[in-house]
Structure 1
Amino acid sequence: MNLSEVTERISRKLEAKGAQPDRQKIESRLSRLVEEFGVNLDEAERTVTADLAREHNVTGVGGSSTEIRPIHEIVPGEWVTIEGKIVALTPPVSPSIAQTGIIADSSGAMRFVTWARANAPTMEYGHWYRLESAVVDEYKGAPNLKIHSGTTIAQMEKDAPLLPSITPIAELKPGVGSVRAKFIQEWEASHDRMLQTGLLGDETGTIKFVIWKEEGEGKEKLDLDAVYNIFYATVDEYNGRLSLALNTAMYITDEGDIEVGRTETEIRGALVHVAPGSGLIKRCPVEGCNRTLSRQNYCPVHEIQPEFRYDLRIKAVLDDGIRARNVLMQREVVEALTGITLDEAVSIAETNPLGMDEIFYRIRNTVLGRYYTCSGNEFGGRLLVNSCTPIVFQPEELASLLNRAGGEPA
């Protein structure tokens, strides 16, 4: 952390309260405390924040106050005192970290990290604690509570139930969130550590989720088409898109149903490339795996699988003239687009000298170079196609283009 970052953080906190601080003045004060008086940067930030808050006559921007703050009001850069319940614990990712998890109160929840050098007492899942002089910084775009050597931790004799407020998917932000959603699509795991991944949806939209494998019993998988109340999931952001990690969450099935509001991406263009791995493929039959097998029926996780199952897919590139996008079409879309069913493809492959390659060539010859409108959800830089229709020739469009170009039809 440098002076410029701290200056920016202090400025944002004051501006959020309606003040108009002088950034140059803030950095000058920080520099003097750190370089001339040897004050550590955290203490300098707290001092300058408190001084400027008094000058601008604003409150609630940090300082050494022991006033208990609701979690949903906390912003990065503050020193806070909170009371909350430990609703999730996660394995530390580094030896320098003693404990990580999620702490919640009736207003909201946030991630926390306890540094090993803090020598702080270990907090237990399901217990309430009072934390004094904890620092709030920003991690992956969301407030994150840091417990350091100056933080006081006291377990509370409290057993108040927490009722997390449900957030519509369209209103989620990076951090921690609770949703009521329906499991609408299951995707093939792209990493060995993934237990399950797919798409959740509610009335406002859809979001990708992932459950990572854990040592021991770990998490249970979700059932397709079921509705769940999911509490305290981790909301991450990558390339401007949000996703839910359910390893920190508690999820309970709901008897109702949800009419999912689709937020699909639609693209129109020419299918300019059909990639290897398209056509008739084999999948691992082990429950929960579904990975694509090699020609020798080898699964990267479960090794040789003679009892494989067949599937159809197209991995391709759709070019709209401005941007080329990777698209992935699953069995139902492939069958509708090519007119070849899975049973027909298997029969052809088993009786043709080229085997599965024959299906690849037939599908490629059917779709390559043609124009389509594809709709679906983007995931990992690829459009997972839910529907795909050929673009029908419109004579009036050709006439309009010819008129603009000043030409005549042949």
Structure 2
Amino acid sequence: MNLSEVTERISRKLEAKGAQPDQQKIESRLRRLVEEFGVNVDEAERTVTGDLAREYNVTGIGSSSTELRPIHEIVPGEWVTIEGKIVALTPPVSPSIAQTGIIADSSGAIRFVTWARANAPAMEYGHWYRLESAVVDEYKGAPNLKIHSGTTISRVEEDTPLLPSITPITELKPGVGSVRAKFIQDWDASHDRMLQTGLLGDETGTIKFVIWKEEGKDKLDLDTVYNIFYATVDEYNGRLSLALNTAMYIADEGDIEVGRTETEIRGALVHIAPGSGLIKRCPVEGCNRTLSRQNYCPVHEIQPEFRYDLRIKAVLDDGIRAKNVLMQREVVEALTGITLEEAVSIAETNPLGMDEIFYRMRNTVLGRYYTCSGSEFGGRLLVNSCTPIAFEPAELAALLNRAGGEPA
């Protein structure tokens, strides 16, 4: 659609109400919305019409962007007016950004960004605001609210109670979500900036979470149920994860029977990776990192009072694809027949030390066939159970007979 035609149409509407609009100003606003913010022409026309109607104090030609909307209904490409409470503020990642955070109402929550060039008043945590003519776009697959120079920010003095809506884990989408979940697995942090990472679960399934190091952020306690309000839901390689730095999390006295969405793979263990067997872990509360041979933790340095653990890091091949698998102590003990206490005793009396456990376990499982099931994260299967596949002579005979009967 030609923007000059749209400009002329808006101008005629305003003139019919007795206003004398500047057509150059109208077209400039349209071009900014369409070319800079990617707004479709129809929505840009409605927005500019509504903004100018307010400026010239005329009625009867308003825009839908001035109508108050519930947050859960807004979608990318719209210009909207909402009222919500600031439930999180996060550090801006660029000098061009003045403020970022999360704003919520009773229907849902959305991330927002205020551009520095907008010269908008800063919003305060815990207060309600009315935002008029804000732009909804998309960031990392989720709706995102942009506050620009045309957005009007008004503080709402009435502090309305806000009760977050809990979403089942399997129904989460990229953006912002609140869950009631149980902390069921504590994982080794893969980055120095991580305070904690692991697995949360509710009745519908499980999801990975991470808490980044930040002042005032506490770790979760294993096997505890939490109400987690306004976590950031991110998507990477088709899988969702929760970042809890924007969230408020409160321990709950109840319990949850976690529903697990498990993957099952049958195949041969074709590789046992270094770091398998008997390992040492950091004893500092909440750390659990694997120590080096010199008992060194990358966060807490030398730890002479370490604790022992068992694990197997391996590759399971089903003949079509190879999958990295990780087995923790209980699965390792059942699979190899070596308990943690036996492994420690062997390592302390054998000249090879902990290497002896690695060799024994490798010789026990390498090249053998298993059915492994567990949760799949980051390209790795976190094994909950692993069962040897029994040799079935009848199945092999039938297979050979079929192969022998096929024409050359």
Q: 1:84 Cα deviation (Å)?
A: 0.4
Q: Which residue of 1 aligns with 2:55?
A: 55
- After superposition, the Cα gap between the structure-2 partners of 1:240 and 1:18, relative to the gap in structure 1 and judged at 3 Å, is farther
Q: 1:322 Cα deviation (Å)?
A: 0.8
Q: State yes or no: 1:240 paired with 2:238.
A: yes
Q: 1:184 Cα deviation (Å)?
A: 1.5
* TM-score, normalisation: structure 1: 0.84
- After superposition, the Cα gap between the structure-2 partners of 1:39 and 1:179, relative to the gap in structure 1 and judged at 3 Å, is closer
- After superposition, the Cα gap between the structure-2 partners of 1:84 and 1:8, relative to the gap in structure 1 and judged at 3 Å, is farther
- After superposition, the Cα gap between the structure-2 partners of 1:408 and 1:55, relative to the gap in structure 1 and judged at 3 Å, is farther
Match of 1:112, SS state, is strand
Q: Which residue of 2 aligns with 1:121?
A: 121
8 Å CA contact 2:50, 2:66 repeated in 1: no
8 Å CA contact 2:43, 2:78 repeated in 1: no
Q: 1:395 Cα deviation (Å)?
A: 2.3
Worse-superposed segment, 228-237 or 23-32: 23-32
- After superposition, the Cα gap between the structure-2 partners of 1:276 and 1:169, relative to the gap in structure 1 and judged at 3 Å, is same
Q: 1:7 Cα deviation (Å)?
A: 19
> Over residues 55-96 of structure 1, what are the superposed CA-to-partner deviations in whole Å (9 max), with x where a residue is unaligned?
999999996631111101100011111110001111112222
Match of 1:103, SS state, is strand
* TM-score, normalisation: structure 2: 0.85
Instruction: Give 2:361's match in structure 1, choosing from 346, 363, 370.
Output: 363
State how far apart, in whole Å, the 2-side matches of 1:319 and 1:21 are.
71
State how far apart, in whole Å, the 1-side matches of 2:104 and 2:14 are.
25
Worse-superposed segment, 17-26 or 88-97: 17-26
What are structure 1's unaligned runs of at least 5 residues?
A: none
Taking only aligned residues, the RMSD between alpha carbons, in angstroms, comes to 7.4
> Over residues 180-232 of structure 1, what are the superposed CA-to-partner deviations in whole Å (9 max), with x where a residue is unaligned?
111111111111111111111111111111111103xx222222222121111
8 Å CA contact 2:66, 2:81 repeated in 1: yes
8 Å CA contact 2:40, 2:77 repeated in 1: no
State how far apart, in whole Å, the 2-side matches of 1:222 and 1:300 are.
21
Q: 1:253 Cα deviation (Å)?
A: 2.0
Q: Which residue of 2 aligns with 1:347?
A: 345
Match of 1:292, SS state, is coil
- After superposition, the Cα gap between the structure-2 partners of 1:192 and 1:29, relative to the gap in structure 1 and judged at 3 Å, is closer
State how far apart, in whole Å, the 2-side matches of 1:284 and 1:209 are.
21
State how far apart, in whole Å, the 2-side matches of 1:103 and 1:213 are.
23
After the TM superposition, which segments of 4 or more aligned residues of structure 1 sit over 3 Å from their partners? 1-64, 407-410
- After superposition, the Cα gap between the structure-2 partners of 1:404 and 1:13, relative to the gap in structure 1 and judged at 3 Å, is farther
State how far apart, in whole Å, the 2-side matches of 1:16 and 1:269 are.
76
Match of 1:403, SS state, is helix
8 Å CA contact 1:89, 1:102 repeated in 2: yes
Q: 1:50 Cα deviation (Å)?
A: 10
State how far apart, in whole Å, the 2-side matches of 1:36 and 1:167 are.
35
State how far apart, in whole Å, the 2-side matches of 1:16 and 1:206 are.
59
State how far apart, in whole Å, the 2-side matches of 1:16 and 1:270 are.
79
- After superposition, the Cα gap between the structure-2 partners of 1:133 and 1:57, relative to the gap in structure 1 and judged at 3 Å, is closer
Q: 1:355 Cα deviation (Å)?
A: 1.1
State how far apart, in whole Å, the 2-side matches of 1:11 and 1:203 are.
57
Match of 1:184, SS state, is strand
Q: State yes or no: 1:207 paired with 2:207.
A: yes
Worse-superposed segment, 364-373 or 376-385: 376-385
Worse-superposed segment, 14-23 or 189-198: 14-23
State how far apart, in whole Å, the 2-side matches of 1:274 and 1:15 are.
79
Q: 1:385 Cα deviation (Å)?
A: 0.9
Match of 1:161, SS state, is coil
8 Å CA contact 1:62, 1:77 repeated in 2: no
Worse-superposed segment, 13-22 or 358-367: 13-22
- After superposition, the Cα gap between the structure-2 partners of 1:56 and 1:133, relative to the gap in structure 1 and judged at 3 Å, is closer
Q: 1:254 Cα deviation (Å)?
A: 2.0
- After superposition, the Cα gap between the structure-2 partners of 1:44 and 1:71, relative to the gap in structure 1 and judged at 3 Å, is closer
Q: State yes or no: 1:298 paired with 2:327.
A: no
Worse-superposed segment, 399-408 or 97-106: 399-408
Q: 1:403 Cα deviation (Å)?
A: 2.2
Worse-superposed segment, 328-337 or 11-20: 11-20
What are structure 2's unaligned runs of at least 5 residues?
A: none
- After superposition, the Cα gap between the structure-2 partners of 1:301 and 1:7, relative to the gap in structure 1 and judged at 3 Å, is farther
Q: 1:155 Cα deviation (Å)?
A: 0.8
Match of 1:65, SS state, is helix
Aligned residue pairs total 408
Q: 1:133 Cα deviation (Å)?
A: 1.1
Bigger Cα Rg? 2
Q: 1:272 Cα deviation (Å)?
A: 0.2
- After superposition, the Cα gap between the structure-2 partners of 1:77 and 1:400, relative to the gap in structure 1 and judged at 3 Å, is same
State how far apart, in whole Å, the 2-side matches of 1:29 and 1:110 are.
26
